[in-house]
Amino acid sequence: MKKTMKVHVWLCVLVMGLSVLAWGQVPTADKILDLVEEKSIMGGDTGSMIATVQFDVTISEDETTSYTFRVFSVRGTEGNPDKTLMVYLSPDLVAGTIFLTSTPEEGDARMWLYLPALGLVKELISEESQEQEFVSGSGISRKEIAEGFQYKDDYAPELIGEEETKGMPAYVLFLTPKEGCEHDWQSIKLWVHKEEYAVIRGEFVNQEGELAKVMEGDDFSTDSVGFISHTITFHDLIGGGSSLITLIDREIADVPEDYFVPENLPELDLDAF
């Protein structure tokens, strides 16, 4: 089951959003969660996209490491999984490394890692390898990157109110685990933009009842693709540290299907990225 938090933040289906507003009705908690799950870190509707993303990982007050990625994605084609290819551009120590994901509508994501120094493509099969941090010190796992906001399988949402957050109108959802489902969090609280269905803030309570992680979106604006949060900060309240994800640029563009074939990763022209 998909049970993790994403990081990645995709554009809502406009027709569905307008139909709710046109009748002046408040959408149900399940409908809001459905619309949230149609988003990702790069936004966009169906089709393919290219983006540049930066991770700034702060482990201590005086220690921050920056990582830059070129991201290629395709999503929303009926019957096919969503696919994402992330090429590490910097720092030099990891440049050329590639992280590939394939996420079906139902079921778990598959993940591969290409290590250029070894010329090796490895599928990440074990739970341990999937739960490892995407970048060291980030507090964000590879699985969270691959699966994104996928809560509805394992959590039941309740609409508990409406608030203004960061100057934007928001629905407030409270999520608790469904009976018999595996889950990472005892509860999740989400503030969701009332018109764009982007997550503005998230609070995650661990199995011990502690507020363990807080996610905050910022720099919300509409670009040539649509409405999106251009920065997302994750605060690890248990381990300390934080991760700032910045969407530097993005564009709708055709991405060759060959990019998403694991066996092709060693042959990709990385200089072109």
Residues of the chain with pLDDT under 50: 1-23, 41-42
pLDDT of residue 4: 38
Q: Of 149, 197, 217, give the one whose Cα is nearest residue 17.
A: 197
Burial class (CB in 10 A: 0-12, 13-18, 19+), 195: middle
Percent of the chain's residues with pLDDT above 90: 52
Looking at residue 210, its pLDDT comes to 97
pLDDT digits (tens, 9 = 90+) for 230-267: 999 999 998 888 999 999 998 888 889 999 999 999 99
Domain 14-268: homologous superfamily in CATH: Lipoprotein localisation LolA/LolB/LppX (2.50.20.10)
Domains of the chain by residue range: 14-268
What pLDDT, on the 0 to 100 scale, is given for residue 46? 58
Residue with tokens 């807080």: 214
For residue 12, the model assigns a pLDDT of 28
* Burial profile 70-104: b = 16 or more Cβ within 10 angstroms, e = fewer: bbbbbbeeeeebbbbbbbbbeeeeeebbbbbbbbe
The model's pLDDT over 47-76, given as tens digits with 9 standing for 90+, comes to 788 999 999 999 877 889 999 999 999 886
Give the residue from 105, 100, 107 showing the smallest Cα distance to 78.
Answer: 105
